C-alpha cells in the first residue's frame, strides 16, 4: 500500500512539475518594445501572473518585422501546436491579413482568442476649422472631394485610412478613391500636419489625440464607437450624427491553430479573467483604452466579418486587386 501511495505521489509530483513547466507561457509581441503589441503582451502577461492564472511569469518575446508578418509566419510554420504560446494582435493584424500583406497567409491559419480593450477611432480637425460637426465635413467632401485632405498615422490602405472611408461610404459618398489621404509617421505627426493647415482632417486613435484635445489645438468631430467614451463625454459618436460606423483599434490575442479545443478554451477563460480584473481596468484607463470585450468563439466570427469587409473596401480603393 505504502509503495503504491509513494508511487502515486511521485507520479503526481512528476505530473504537476510537467504541468508547471507547461504553464510557463510565452507571449510574442510582433514589434519592438514600446509599441501597442508590446504593451498588450506585457500587461496581459503581468496580470495573468498577478491574478494567479499562470504559475510562472509570462515570458515576452519581441519579434519585429513585416508589420507582424514575421511573427505570424513563425507561429504558422514553426509553432502551430504550441499550447503555451499567445501572440498580441490588433486591428492592424486583421487589416494586413485582409490585404494579403502577410505573404499569402490568411486569418484562418491561427485562432483568434479575443479582444479585451480598444482604442476608439476619432476624426479631428484643427481648432479653427470651419467644420463643426461630422456632417459639415461630409457635406464639404460630397460637394468637392478635393477640398478636404486627411492625414493619418498608417500607410494608404491602413486602418486610419479605412476609418475615414467607412464613414464617408456610410454617409452615402461612394466615390471613395477621390478622398485625399496622406500617411505620415504616426498619429502625432498627422496632427501637426492638420494643425499646420496642410490637411483639413486627422484620422487616428483616441490615445493619439488626447494631449492635443486638452491643449485645445484640435477638436474631435466624432468618435467611432457605439457609445460616448468615458472621460470624453462631450465628443459625439458618429452613430448619433446619423453615420453608423464603429471602428476601434482592439487589443487582443491569437494562438496557434493546431492546439486542442480544451487548450483554446483555457486561454479564452484566462483572457476573460484578465478582462474582469481591476488591474486591467487600471491599465486601460492609464492608456486611453475603452472597454471592448469579445472573447472565445464569437470573436472568431467577428474577426471573419471584419476581414471580409476590410477586403472589400481595400479592393474598392485599389490597395488589393
Binder among 33, 130, 242, 297 for another protein (CB under 8 A): 33
- The answer to whether 307 contacts another protein (rule: CB under 8 A) is no
Binding part of the chain for another protein, among 83-91, 108-116, 214-222, 304-312 by CB under 8 A, reads: 214-222
How far apart (Å, rounded) are the C-alpha atoms in residues 285 and 293? 15
**CA proximity to 150, closest of 129, 132, 174, 172:** 129
Least distance in angstroms from the C-beta of 230 to another protein: 17
With binding defined as CB under 8 A, does residue 316 bind another protein?
A: no
Q: Is 231 in the site for another protein (CB under 8 A)?
A: no
166 lies in the site for another protein, by CB under 8 A: no
Q: How far apart are CA 174 and CA 10, in angstroms?
A: 69
Contacts of residues 300-304 at CB distance under 8 Å and 24 or more positions apart, as own/partner, are 300/111, 300/112, 303/94, 303/107, 303/112, 304/107
Nearer to another protein, 185 or 262 (CB): 185
Question: Is residue 279 near another protein by the rule CB under 8 A?
Answer: no
> Which residues neighbour 126 within 8 Å (Cβ) at sequence distance 6 or greater?
194, 195, 197, 200, 217, 218, 219
* Distances from the Cα of 310 to the Cα of 31, 233, 305, angstroms: 22, 29, 9
Minimum CB separation of residue 51 from another protein in Å reads 18
Of 25, 27, 37, 38, which lies in the binding site for another protein, with binding defined by CB under 8 A? 38
Please identify which residue in 191, 238, 289, 290 interacts with another protein, judged by CB under 8 A: 191
SS3 state at 167:
helix
Which is closer to another protein, CB of 83 or CB of 162? 162
Contact positions toward another protein, by CB under 8 A?
32-35, 38-39, 42, 60, 62-67, 69-70, 73, 99, 101-103, 146, 149, 155-158, 161, 180-186, 188-189, 191-193, 195-199, 207-208, 210-212, 214-215, 217, 286-287, 319
Amino acid at each position: 500500500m505504502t509503495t503504491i501511495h509513494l508511487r502515486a505521489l511521485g507520479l503526481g509530483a512528476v505530473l504537476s512539475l510537467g504541468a508547471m513547466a507547461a504553464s510557463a507561457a510565452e507571449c510574442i509581441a510582433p514589434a519592438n518594445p514600446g509599441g501597442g503589441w508590446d504593451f498588450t503582451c506585457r500587461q496581459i502577461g503581468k496580470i495573468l501572473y498577478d491574478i494567479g492564472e499562470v504559475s510562472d511569469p509570462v515570458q515576452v518575446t519581441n519579434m519585429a518585422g513585416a508589420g507582424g508578418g514575421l511573427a505570424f509566419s513563425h507561429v504558422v510554420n514553426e509553432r502551430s501546436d504550441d499550447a503555451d504560446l499567445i501572440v498580441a494582435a490588433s486591428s492592424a493584424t486583421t487589416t494586413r491579413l485582409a490585404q494579403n500583406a502577410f505573404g499569402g497567409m490568411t486569418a484562418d491559419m491561427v485562432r483568434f482568442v479575443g479582444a479585451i480593450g480598444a482604442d476608439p477611432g476619432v476624426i479631428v480637425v484643427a481648432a479653427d476649422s470651419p467644420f463643426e460637426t461630422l456632417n459639415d465635413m461630409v457635406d464639404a467632401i460630397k460637394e468637392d472631394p478635393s477640398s478636404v485632405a486627411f492625414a493619418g498615422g498608417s500607410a494608404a490602405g491602413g486602418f486610419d485610412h479605412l476609418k475615414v472611408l467607412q464613414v464617408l461610404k456610410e454617409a452615402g459618398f461612394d466615390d471613395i478613391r477621390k478622398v485625399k489621404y496622406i500617411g505620415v509617421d504616426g498619429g502625432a505627426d498627422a496632427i501637426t500636419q492638420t494643425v499646420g493647415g496642410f490637411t483639413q482632417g486627422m484620422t487616428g486613435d483616441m490615445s493619439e489625440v488626447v494631449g492635443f484635445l486638452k491643449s485645445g489645438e484640435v477638436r474631435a468631430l466624432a468618435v467611432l464607437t457605439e457609445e460616448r467614451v468615458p472621460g470624453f463625454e462631450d465628443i459625439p459618436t458618429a452613430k448619433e450624427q446619423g453615420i453608423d460606423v464603429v471602428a476601434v483599434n482592439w487589443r487582443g490575442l491569437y494562438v496557434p491553430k493546431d492546439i486542442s479545443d480544451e487548450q483554446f478554451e483555457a486561454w479564452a477563460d484566462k483572457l476573460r479573467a484578465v478582462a474582469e480584473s481591476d488591474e486591467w481596468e487600471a491599465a486601460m484607463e492609464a492608456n486611453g483604452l475603452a472597454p471592448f470585450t469579445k472573447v472565445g468563439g464569437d470573436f472568431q466570427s467577428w474577426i471573419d466579418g471584419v476581414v471580409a469587409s476590410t477586403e472589400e473596401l481595400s479592393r474598392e480603393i485599389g490597395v488589393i486587386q
